[in-house]
Amino acid sequence: MTSFATVRDQKTDHLLTPHNAALVLIDYQPLQVSSIQSMEKRALVDNVTAVARTARLFGLPTVIATVNVGTGRNQPTIPQIAEVFPGVVPIDRTAINAWEDEDFVAAVRATGRRKLIVGALWTEVCLVLPALDALAEGYDVYPVVDAVGGTSRVAHEAGLQRLVQAGARPTSWVQLICELQRDWNRGDTVAAFAEILFAVEGK
């Protein structure tokens, strides 16, 4: 029961690591959350909050986007996420597809990471469209399937199928946090890892 003495290269590892991945969260706003029909809304918020806390714990570069806050048609990012990232200024846009917003694409590219962990509302629109564009540009895209939601279960599942067919690599929030932690010997993050994991799992 001995871990390898040499840890795999964290930048070139084919799995997700704190040094090769970035988090992208799109349109976690009250209107979008209230319209989700593919899963229970409280579970959705709990799960995406766990994703956000996981990204902060492991120091992942994070891009947050909103839609139509500046136009007054929509409200800002839900507080459960905003409170996790007080220093991240959301990129507001009018484009339905975030990848058609210059500032958003520049922010993603500025992370320097080629593996994108992505969550968005709705699955079938604000997740699928930018994810397809990111895949077309050679990014590895990891939609967090239990932290996203659609206007119906059918719409959500069809969106995920389209992404998988295009080469996306679905994950869940529990798989994500365990993949980033990887070894209980990485003691600096163990306590917070366990707190995030069991806070949601125990509900």
Element (DSSP H or E) covering residue 25: strand 21-26
> DSSP letter at 123?
I
pLDDT at 202: 58
Are 64 and 25 in contact by the 8 Å Cβ rule? The answer is yes
Which distant-in-sequence residues (6+ apart) come within 8 Å of 85 by Cβ?
52, 56, 62, 64
Smallest CA-to-CA distance from 30 within 17, 16, 44 is with: 44
Are 77 and 28 in contact by the 8 Å Cβ rule? The answer is yes
Q: Each residue of 95-110: pLDDT tens digit? A: 999 999 999 999 999 9
Using CA atoms, how far apart are residues 60 and 23, in angstroms rounded to an integer? 6
Residue whose pair of structure tokens reads 């069991």 in the numeric block? 198
Torsion angles phi and psi, residue 113, rounded to 5: -105, 145
Task: Say if residue 136 is exposed, middle or buried (CB neighbours under 10 Å; 0-12, 13-18, 19+).
Answer: exposed
Are 193 and 181 in contact by the 8 Å Cβ rule? The answer is yes
Using CA atoms, how far apart are residues 108 and 124, in angstroms rounded to an integer? 21
- How far does Cα 194 stand from its chain's mean position? 19
Q: What stretches in the chain show pLDDT beneath 70?
A: 1, 5, 201-203
Catalytic residue IDs = 126
| Domains of the chain in sequence order | 21-201 (3.40.50.850)
pLDDT at 199: 85
Cβ count near 69 (within 10 Å): 15
